[in-house]
Structure 1
Amino acid sequence: MNLTQNKKAVVTGGAGFIGSRLVRALLDQGFAVTVIDDLSAYGDVRLLDVQEKITFLKESILKKEVLLSAFDGADVVFHLAAVVSVQESINHPERTNEVNCVGTFNAIDAARIAKVPKFVFSSSASVYGDTPELPKKENGATKPLSPYGVSKLIGEEYVKLYSDLYGMSAIALRYMNAYGPGQDPNGAYAAAIPKFISAVENSQPITIFGDGKQTRDFVFVDDIVRANILASQSDNVAGHVINIGTGKEESLLSVIEILKELWGEDFEVLFEDVQQGDIHRSFANVTKAKELLGFEAKISLKEGISLMIKL
């Protein structure tokens, strides 16, 4: 018997890059899925193939009454809706505060009122900023360099507070650098890997901001989805903040080398000034994810990139 059959999951930001993959995984597990997304970021293209299988609400998380209605009877809420770009948050701090801080408060408070058994919040490694400790540990120093990072730290504090104060089973997952199929390569705020791949596929030079030696812990989107589902099924995780990454440190130059190897040819790389709010080195200590969630990333960087490119 499928234990998730007839269970209800709500995904805020379910039309986004990670959210849409999570929606599919939940459907595969037999969940009834409700998606709340105002489609302000990318539209609904990522959900077109499953739109008949879900309940879709084109609404903002700033409308608390919408959340209260949608959360009624839910077994789990996955809160992903957010302004998701560091650079966008620097350019638009007020909107970032509204969506990421007020919106997250609305979501967790609505979950409390609706007595939702599990609340899983999508946080980010951007909360660490450029602190010197490596690998990054959950109980280490946090010093965000952008409104986005600050907003995610505030969300984590609500997760801790509501777990302690109201007895909620809420958990925050600190994603390292997410990548994977369906990630938007366009626009000023696009992430590095899809941008690099798009440049190669269109015979354009790759642009790196900085010297390319800056490092990240690149974690594949399907691993992040699996971590979310494990978090929703795990006991004794209330109030915890958990890194979700591979635990491996990879430079942008190493991403270029993997692309060259997979593509089988060389290509031009342009170097420009480092962007404001950018972090030099970052990778995660993933011990807590293993111990509390039984989670380990399965997809290597080379395998993940190969799943994204059109050879």
Structure 2
Amino acid sequence: MRVVVTGGAGFIGANLVRALLERAEVEHVTVIDDLSTGARENLAGLDVSFHEGSVLDRDLLDSAFAGADAVVHLAALPSVPRSLADPVSTHHANTTGTLQVLEAARRAGGPHVTAASSSSVYGANPELPKRESMAAMPTSPYAVSKLTAEAYLGAYHHSFGLPVLPFRFFNVFGPLQAPGHAYAAVVPAFVDAALAGRPLPVHGDGTQSRDFTYVGTVCRILTSAVLGRVTSPRPVNLAYGTRTSLLELAAEVERCTGRPVTLEHSAPRAGDVPHSQADSSRLRALFPDITAIGLHEGLARTVDWFRTRHAPLSGSR
């Protein structure tokens, strides 16, 4: 099997590439990444074909997709705050980029397309847990871009018979996730601060809660989806229904690092939702043999990676 990973030099993508290369069924992996948020060093030592460029580049996509059996589309401009600062760039990368990937897949003969969406599409809908059938109420340009991308995936399945599987990711964390930039996710920001002896940055009062998912679990699911050619035009939550507040997360980081932590509160961020928790029924039905790696174990592995990495990531993209 030949697999293309867009955004394959990023945090989730580079972890997925490693997981795919461990499978005997995978003959070759091709990576597309414009390095706007990823890094070549994330793929150091891996036997992949690397195409530096954007998913908006038709010719690059056609070259990379030639002979592919599956595409995992992870390339995106992440972050709600980033989308508030630059909505148009977020739309081009996430929505138009997904459309270009789907068109390239059609031209390539219809490889299976798995794609990353986001729990942010639920937005202002207060109901918990978040079920895929509930109304989406996006509150940021990022969320809108992901919801529109989902709609394109479903439309290409129904209109052109393209086998697709859109996943809604929930607060994925783990090794290779960079802390040192303005749009850093909360787990690497907390771990990096704790190990450096700095206060943990908390936007708001810390009672907001999230369904944290370890990247190893995400990669198990994505690999299983690719190898099994699992298809669903409807989105699937990729999280296991846990709910952890940022205050509880800070306490867990303190336990895993063995360092006493203090918190530095600031104003809540625009576009953030107060609570997020997945209904995992559909995920468990599609992937009954996969067990999630828990928050404590995932954080412990993440802390170990932070401690053993060769170069600090603070300031990296």
Q: Is the 8 A contact 2:166 2:232 kept in 1?
A: no
**Pick from 113, 119, 128: which aligns with 1:119?**
113
2: CA distance between counterparts of 1:295 and 1:122? 21
Q: Secondary structure at the match of 2:296?
A: helix
**Pick from 129, 133, 145: which aligns with 2:123?**
129
1: CA distance between counterparts of 2:231 and 2:101? 19
Letter in 1 for 2:172: A
Cα deviation, residue 295, structure 1: 5.8
Matched, 1:33 2:23: no
1: CA distance between counterparts of 2:231 and 2:271? 31
Go from structure 1 to structure 2 and tell me whether the alpha carbon gap of 1:235 and 1:78 turns closer, same or farther (over 3 Å shift). closer
- Cα RMSD of the aligned pairs, angstroms, is 1.4
2:187 alignment counterpart: 193
Bigger mean CA deviation after superposition, 255-264 or 92-101: 255-264
Cα deviation, residue 197, structure 1: 0.6
Instruction: Tell me which stretches of 4 or more aligned residues in structure 1 moved more than 6 Å.
Output: none
Cα deviation, residue 88, structure 1: 0.8
Alignment of 1:56-75 (within 5 A): 56-75=50-69
Q: Secondary structure at the match of 1:49?
A: coil
**Pick from 252, 256, 280: which aligns with 1:258?**
252
1:229 alignment counterpart: 223
1: CA distance between counterparts of 2:236 and 2:276? 15
Q: Is the 8 A contact 2:165 2:230 kept in 1?
A: no
1: CA distance between counterparts of 2:91 and 2:230? 30
Letter in 2 for 1:56: F
Gaps of 5+ in 2: 308-317
**Pick from 210, 215, 221: which aligns with 1:216?**
210
Cα deviation, residue 144, structure 1: 1.1
Q: Is the 8 A contact 1:130 1:281 kept in 2?
A: no
Q: Is the 8 A contact 2:220 2:290 kept in 1?
A: no
Cα deviation, residue 240, structure 1: 2.5
2: CA distance between counterparts of 1:223 and 1:297? 8
Cα deviation, residue 233, structure 1: 3.4
Q: Is the 8 A contact 2:195 2:257 kept in 1?
A: no
Q: Is the 8 A contact 1:127 1:150 kept in 2?
A: yes
Alignment of 1:239-254 (within 5 A): 239-254=233-248
1:163 alignment counterpart: 157
2: CA distance between counterparts of 1:15 and 1:236? 24
TM-score by length of 2: 0.92
Q: Secondary structure at the match of 2:114?
A: strand
1:4 alignment counterpart: none
Q: Secondary structure at the match of 2:45?
A: helix
Cα deviation, residue 308, structure 1: 1.3
Gaps of 5+ in 1: 1-6
TM-score by length of 1: 0.94
Q: Is the 8 A contact 1:243 1:284 kept in 2?
A: yes
Q: Secondary structure at the match of 1:109?
A: helix
1: CA distance between counterparts of 2:90 and 2:9? 18
Q: Is the 8 A contact 1:227 1:295 kept in 2?
A: no
